Chains A and B, each alone.
Chain A
Amino acid sequence: MSFPRTDVPRLRTLLITLCLAVSVAAAQPVRPAAPPSTLPNAANSVKFLVIGDTGTGGREQYQVAVKIADARQRFPFTFAIMLGDNLYGSENASAYVSKFERPYKPLLDAGVKFYAALGNHDEPSQRNYEKFNMDGNRYYTHGHDDVEFFVLDSTYMTPQQIDWLGNELEESDAKWKIPYMHHPMYSSGEKHGSERDLQALVEPLFVKHGVDVVFAGHEHFYERLKPQKGIFYITQGGGAKLRKGNLRDNSVMTAKGFDTDRSFTLVEILEDHMFFETVSRLGQVVDSGVITRREVSETTSTK
């Protein structure tokens, strides 16, 4: 096949343009159409986002953030809980921008409030950063209708904090009491694993005061555990970093795990039920389900 000589430069330009278009397309993250949500998306429910181990400022954090913003179009959560390691490495002013404000700008602009827990890569001074809504405290509570969250600093679990937690749980009359912290009490991760000191000191409080669900991060993957002493533990530490293949294959504790890509979790609490949906960086739903409050499910099962 031959072309007239005058067409050769035009053909070359066309080929270069085509190559550039292909390479730009390849550099874009794959964005398949979002699957239909498994969440009820009811008008009067408490809707929130769960993210952990996010603060890298790297490409993957931004890619996950794009998917979160997409998800909010169909599931309008009003706040987010952050499970720690909010800022890796340097914590100068520009780090707050590149590792938090910029990736989550669409959410911040839409008025989504972030409630942070401290991780082992976070300086305690983050408690004074207003956009983390910690009000100057390493550990604190925040409430939304029937749901009260107990935000713990598991990197430094002092006797004072344990006493405080006991009192707060005792005094709370919320239907749903949801603690969250950075370190998972139970984990099938090969790198870190379960936190036995927290099991010894903190878990008895959860059992005593009717906690149904606990969120944690630290492990750079997603794991939903089978109930431990009646409590559901969910680890969501895949908001930016990934510890690929780190979930032990034969763990008897795992109900569902996802350690091949980053992810985030959407949660909706409607009366006595907590619906959840975990979405990967590529937009796939990798886990979903519903948890019923123990008090209700036990009443139901004994009827």
Chain B
Amino acid sequence: MRCPLFVAGVLSLVTVAAVAQTPGTRQPVNAQAAALQDFQMRLDEYLKLRATLVRGLKPLAPTPSATELAARQAALAAALKKARAGAKPGDLVPQNVVAQIAKAIRDDFTRRSAADERATFSEVPNAVRPAINQTYPADAALPTVPPLLLLNLPRLPDNLQYRFYGRHLILLDGDTQIIVDYIANVLPPH
């Protein structure tokens, strides 16, 4: 187990270093690290807000009642939408992290076979540009983000997930299924 993960970890570091030295981006490694730190702080702020909202509601904890579960989920979703009514794309993912993520995605799909790429996108919903605070469509599958790609994306806290949506990468609040940020047109055409 250690061996492939170690190799992947080394590859991630190499990727980050390569991004830092790409002429197009021209950011020194410490600038990349600072960007990731900035991203982490924004995520922490989001989690703090979320935790504050949750405190005023019934907890998202195991319940035998589907009605209760749906009600708690809806209450948190409504509170998040209200509290982030003015949120804009890029509020959570800073621009220089967008560049790192875009490169990781490009690199990942460059090494995938056509069949693998087809399989990856087979259940991605066709979607026009997403919107912050939009609820993910209930009847659409939640397409799997390839685990090898996830390994090379900045880590997210447990409540947040990267998901493919049309040609966009969205950050989804898992419990409420709300789009909290997105990077537009970052995925290859499919």
Please give me the residue from chain A that is nearest to B138 by CB atom: A90
From B13-21, B23-31, B60-68, B83-91, the one touching the partner chain is B60-68
B174 contacts partner chain A, Cβ-Cβ < 8 Å? yes
Interface size of A by CB at 8 A reads 47
1/0 per position for B149-178, CB-CB distance to A under 8 A? Answer: 111000110100100000000000011110
A302 contacts chain B at the CB level, 8 A cutoff: no
Is A130 in contact with B64, judged by CB distance below 8 angstroms?
yes
Bound form: Cα–Cα A32–B139 in Å: 36
Interface: A193 (CB within 8 A): yes
Chain A proximity of B82: nearest CB distance (Å): 19
Task: From A93, A130, A204, give the contact of B67 (CB < 8 A).
Answer: A93
Are B66 and A97 touching (Cβ within 8 A)?
yes
Q: A193 to chain B: which residues have CB within 8 Å?
A: 115, 119
Q: Is A154 touching B116 in the complex (CB atoms < 8 A)? A: no
Interface residues on B, range: 35 or more
Q: Which residues from chain B contact A192 at a C-beta distance below 8 Å?
A: 119, 122
Known contacts A130-B63, A201-B4; is-contact A155 B144 (Cβ 8 Å): yes
A145 at the interface (CB under 8 A from B): no
| B148 proximal to A (CB < 8 A) | yes
Cβ-Cβ contact count across A and B, 8 Å cutoff: 114
Residues A162 and B5 in contact in the complex (CB < 8 Å), given A123-B177, A156-B161: yes
A204 to chain B, nearest CB (A): 5
Task: Return A163 CB to nearest CB of chain B, in Å.
Answer: 8
Partner among A135, A166, A191 whose Cβ is within 8 Å of the Cβ of B62: A135
A129 to B64, CA, bound (A): 6
- How many angstroms between the C-alpha atoms of A125 and B63 in the bound complex? 11
B141: which A residues are within 8 A, CB to CB?
120-121
Answer whether residue A200 sits at the interface, using C-beta atoms and an 8 A cutoff.
yes
Q: By the criterion CB–CB under 8 Å, are B175 and A125 in contact?
A: yes
Q: Which of B62, B65, B155 contacts A136 (CB 8 A)?
A: B62
Q: Give the docked Cα–Cα distance between A172 and B189 (Å).
A: 44
Q: Which positions 113-147 of chain A face chain B at CB distance < 8 Å? A: 120-125, 127-131, 134-136, 138
Contacts of B143 in A (CB 8 A): 120
Residue A197 at the chain B interface, CB threshold 8 Å: yes
Q: B10 contacts the other chain (Cβ, under 8 Å)?
A: no
Instruction: Say yes or no: A93-B144 contact (C-beta < 8 A), given A125-B174, A128-B60.
Output: no
Residues of B within 8 A of A124 (CB): 161, 174-175
For A89, list chain B residues within 8 Å (CB): 138-139
Tell me, rounded to whole Å, the shortest Cβ–Cβ distance linking A95 to chain B: 8
Q: Do the beta carbons of B148 and A197 come within 8 Å of each other?
A: yes
Tell me how far the C-beta of A171 lies from the nearest C-beta in chain B, rounded to whole angstroms: 13
- Please give, as numbers and ranges, the residues of chain B lying within 8 Å of A36 by CB-CB distance: none
> Is A44's CB within 8 Å of the partner chain B?
no
Interface residue? B127 (CB, 8 A): no
Q: Is the CB–CB distance between B63 and A156 below 8 Å? A: no
The A157-202 residues at the B interface (CB cut-off 8 A) are 157-160, 162-163, 166, 183, 191-193, 196-198, 200-202
Provide the bound-state CA to CA distance between A97 and B72, in Å: 17
Contact with A along B1-43 (1 / 0, CB 8 A): 1111100100000000000000000000000000000000000
- Interface residue? B146 (CB, 8 A): yes
* CB atoms of A159 and B151 under 8 A apart: yes
With A120-B143, A125-B73 in contact, is A160–B155 under 8 Å at CB? yes
Q: Which residues of B sit under 8 angstroms from A232, Cβ to Cβ? A: none
A91 within 8 A of B: yes
Q: Does A282 touch B at the CB level, under 8 Å?
A: no
B142 interface residue per 8 A CB criterion? yes
Q: Is A301 in contact with chain B by the CB < 8 A criterion?
A: no
Q: Are B123 and A120 in contact (CB under 8 A)?
A: yes
Q: Which 10 A-B pairs have the closest CB atoms?
A: A96-B66, A124-B174, A157-B147, A93-B67, A130-B64, A197-B147, A93-B66, A205-B1, A197-B148, A166-B1
Binding site for B on A (CB under 8 A): 89-93, 95-97, 101, 120-125, 127-131, 134-136, 138, 154-160, 162-163, 166, 183, 191-193, 196-198, 200-202, 204-205, 208
Other contacts beyond A154-B144, A156-B161: 7, CB < 8 A: A125-B69, A128-B63, A136-B61, A156-B145, A158-B150, A166-B5, A205-B1
Pairs A–B under 8 Å by Cβ, sample size 17: A89-B139, A90-B139, A93-B67, A120-B142, A123-B177, A125-B69, A129-B64, A138-B158, A155-B142, A155-B144, A157-B144, A159-B151, A159-B155, A192-B122, A193-B119, A201-B151, A204-B1
